[in-house]
Structure 1
Amino acid sequence: MTARTRKAQRRTDALSRERIIEAAVELLDAAGEGGLTFRALTERLATGPGAIYWHVANKGELLDAATDDVVAAALAREPAGRPASPQEGVRAVALGLFGAIERHPWLAAQLAGQLSRGPERPVPPRILERFGQQVRELGVPESGWFVAASALMHYVLGAAGQHAANVAYARTLGPDADRAEVLGAVAAAWQGLDPADYPFTRAVADQVRDHDDREQFLAGVDLILAGITA
């Protein structure tokens, strides 16, 4: 091994794939997918691009790795105490994903992309497996496992993604934006709709003002659980 090769090996050993992914997540959290560039990554890690390319081939691979890392951490979080039932296990998985998507607003788009880009993507099977294990514990017949687990997965990802979009929108209104005022404006807009075309939306407008996002999210999970166990 030449001196140059040994020097390059030491650099790549010191800069692990795990540290690169950690830095990528930090950049994504700060500026979204557009802020994740190899130039920004080399500046954050104080290294050259060659050391990064040693571990990851391109931005697509890096995004997949960051997504997988965040989701794996979310699914590994144990709730306070062992779940007393499969229903509580489902809620724990759902809240873990909800919290991850809330903390990392870029995550929702990456998960949607993985669901649409092909079966080889690593994250959807990981999420499906966790929900599926709980569905099996609920006593669902094997013929219904996929439908039940898929319904839970798609609801959780969709609802958590919408919540993340709402949070991102609220940030654009500035640090002084008041959640109650924003929801009040939505409620007022709904109440102003044509009553002939939007009778239901007008009827629930007042419920928008004071709803709790997390409670609403879990209520949706419980509705699906009730359907699964009926």
Structure 2
Amino acid sequence: MKDPEFWHNKWASNQIGFHLPDVNPLLTKYWHATNPRRESRVFVPLCGKSEDLIWLARHHDDVQGVELSKIAVRALFAENLYTPMVTPVTGQHELYQFDELSIYAGDYFTAPISPVDIIYDRAALIAMPEEMRSDYVQRLKSLLAAGGRILLVTLDYPQDEMAGPPFSVPKAEVETLFEGYRVSLLESDEVDAQHPKKAKKGLSRFAEEVWLIESQS
């Protein structure tokens, strides 16, 4: 990944404002839209130590994740009182396994992820600068089995008003990145500068959007 030290330093200094301490309500609200089954294989890119992984593992037998920071991966298991089996794998990756969870510590672009039926992306695409998003999505598509689905959460705001990450990925870019897929907007929670929740960000407009991306092959 470009500038991996940026993310290593974030975790090392505990500057993880992007981390949600609880399960994302958008996941529990919209997961049904992916038509999930217990046997559906699930992948969570750039997963951090997200509690979403624990929720998904309660509902599926095979949940894979990849995370650059070993600090984050180890914290995920430690904070949930799990003792994973740790196995070195190809390249610079380590595989952490506990029951339904398999988390690769290392680079997303080279991790040996097995093909999956559903991908859940809450904070991965929006962590990528514009010049990396196409490669990121190409890799994502290569991991998705025929007929697979992606539940994607993005942000849309004037990029010139905040440097990011998280970055703005507006509707037109989502549709371009996933050209040839069925792209459905499930929710757009938009506020403006008058809204006290977002006013502190200094943004004139801010929307959190939820997408269902469906492979048509």
TM bucket by the smaller chain? under 0.3
Q: TM-score, normalised by structure 1?
A: 0.25
More strand by share: 2
Q: TM-score, normalised by structure 2?
A: 0.26
More helix by share: 1
